[in-house]
Structure 1
Amino acid sequence: MHLKFHHHILALSALITLAACADPLDRQVQLSGPAGANFAADQAACRQVAKSYTDERARRGTYAGVAVGGLAGAAEEEDLEGALIGAALGGVIGRAEAEAEINEDRRAVMLRCLQNKGHPVVG
């Protein structure tokens, strides 16, 4: 395996690790006015609602990443080992990207939930 390919693997691992640390549900909520008396309890309840939100993007992202990564790995290494490594990395990347999108959707669900409870949430 080429040394260049190993560097891609290490860099990619670092990026995925950093992306996994930033959960949008934990970011501070921006308000356009004072928080109401029930804000903390409502935020906890809305966070639980948002955590239950799922869709099929994570699975589809994994499959797409496997396909693209396998092709890229095969082109880079010109052998089965390169294709397998590329497919594995592509699957991880595809899944991570889809999960990041879903996590942003979960934040939007939490914010809408808080707005529906009467809190002056702007972001």
Structure 2
Amino acid sequence: MKHIISIIAVAGVVGACADSGANYTPVLDGTPTPAFQSDLAACQSLARDQRQFDQETAAAAVMGAGAGALLGEFDDDSDALEGAVAGALAGGVSGAVNASGRREAIVCECLRGRGHRVVG
């Protein structure tokens, strides 16, 4: 039962990070133009639609699970499943942070492309 709860927790953490970064509102140099809010919504939607980042996050979780299972198998204090759960969590969180940063960059670049003076 403990392992099932851990696996559900890993899936929940990775899933919760799926759209992070897409809701980013960057800092502008100057006053926003009247078109800013509609452009921001369009750019955030573009960033949110990049599902390959979700696939990369899932792949990072799987790779982390594999590495964690190997390490857990050789550790006297844990088993392969505990190592897999810990590795999946670490890999998933790492992938989600990377995806979030990339989505924020998409929002910024999209707004710059639409003529807004984005500084970060």
1:4 is matched with none
CA distance in 2, matches of 1:74, 1:120: 53
Pairing 1:38–2:41 present? no
Q: Which runs of 5+ in 2 are unaligned?
A: 1-5
Counting aligned pairs with the same residue, the percent is 27
Structure 2 residue aligned with 1:90: 87
Do the aligned residues in 1 keep the contact of 2:22 with 2:45 (CA within 8 Å)? no
Structure 1 unaligned residues grouped into runs of 5+: 1-8
The answer on whether the counterparts of 1:54 and 1:102 sit within 8 Å (CA) in structure 2 is no
2: CA distance, partners of 1:100 / 1:31? 23
Q: Choose between structure 1 and 2: higher helix proportion.
A: 1
| CA displacement 1:18-38 (0-9 Å, x = unmatched) | x95xx3334441111211111
**Is the alpha carbon distance of 1:46 and 1:31 closer, same or farther for their aligned partners in structure 2, counting shifts above 3 Å?**
same
User: Counterpart in 1 of 2:109?
Assistant: 112
Q: Please, what TM-score do these two structures have when normalized by structure 1? A: 0.72
Deviation at 1:121, TM superposition (A): 0.6
| RMSD across aligned positions (CA) | 2.8
| Higher CA-based Rg | 1
Matched residues in 2 for 1:120 and 1:51: separation?
22
Q: How many pairs were matched up?
A: 107
Question: Counterparts in 2 of 1:13-52, with a 5 A limit?
Answer: 20=17, 23-52=20-49
1:66 corresponds to: 65
